[in-house]
């Protein structure tokens, strides 16, 4: 036994433009089949938000950095320059040998890369 369709339309809903609804034209706008009445404005607003976020990040000078440095907008060059003038800059060295370990008179052989090997004592500030 088969049933005939009673004329009701099943399937995706169609969205009609405001003008089409007022004029009685039942054809949906191109590419609008199955979309809700707010999908076009939402899509437009989402695009605007992405563009604004991109502009804000550019103005704040925010970008991905693999150096670990903070963005230049957060640098305090004046206080950095003052600190460099007040204190002697430190260098990174590798301790290669300890002479007389576990005594107060211990000395350390350090290697400052590409400069020199130095024998020194610990300096506590």
Q: Per-domain residue ranges for the chain?
A: 14-89, 90-125
- Residue owning tokens 């004046």: 78
pLDDT tens per residue, the chain (125 residues)? Answer: 444 444 444 445 555 555 555 555 555 555 556 778 888 999 999 999 999 998 887 877 666 666 777 777 788 999 988 988 888 777 788 888 888 888 888 888 888 877 777 776 676 66
Asked if residues 17 and 37 have their Cβ atoms less than 8 Å apart, the reply is: no
Q: Which residues contact 120 (CB under 8 A, 6 or more apart)?
A: 107, 108, 110
Cα distance between the two ends of the chain: 97
Cα–Cα separations (whole angstroms), residue 95 to 4, 27, 118, 125:
91, 81, 10, 19
Q: How many CB atoms within 10 Å of residue 15?
A: 19
Question: 29-43: per-residue pLDDT in tens?
Answer: 555 567 788 889 999
Asked if residues 39 and 28 have their Cβ atoms less than 8 Å apart, the reply is: no
pLDDT for 78: 93
94-99 and 107-112 as β-strands: parallel, antiparallel, unpaired?
Answer: antiparallel
Handedness of CA 36, 37, 38, 40 (dihedral sign): positive
């Amino acid at each position: 036994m088969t049933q005939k369709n009673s004329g009701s339309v099943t399937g995706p809903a169609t969205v009609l433009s405001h003008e089409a609804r007022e004029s009685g034209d039942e054809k949906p706008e191109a590419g609008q089949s199955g979309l809700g009445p707010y999908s076009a404005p939402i899509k437009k607003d989402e695009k605007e938000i992405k563009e604004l976020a991109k502009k804000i990040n550019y103005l704040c000078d925010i970008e991905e950095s693999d150096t670990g440095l903070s963005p230049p907008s957060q640098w305090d060059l004046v206080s950095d320059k003052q600190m460099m003038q007040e204190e002697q800059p430190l260098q990174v060295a590798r301790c290669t040998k300890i002479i007389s370990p576990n005594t107060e008179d211990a000395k350390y052989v350090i290697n400052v890369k590409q400069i020199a090997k130095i024998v020194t004592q610990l300096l506590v500030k």
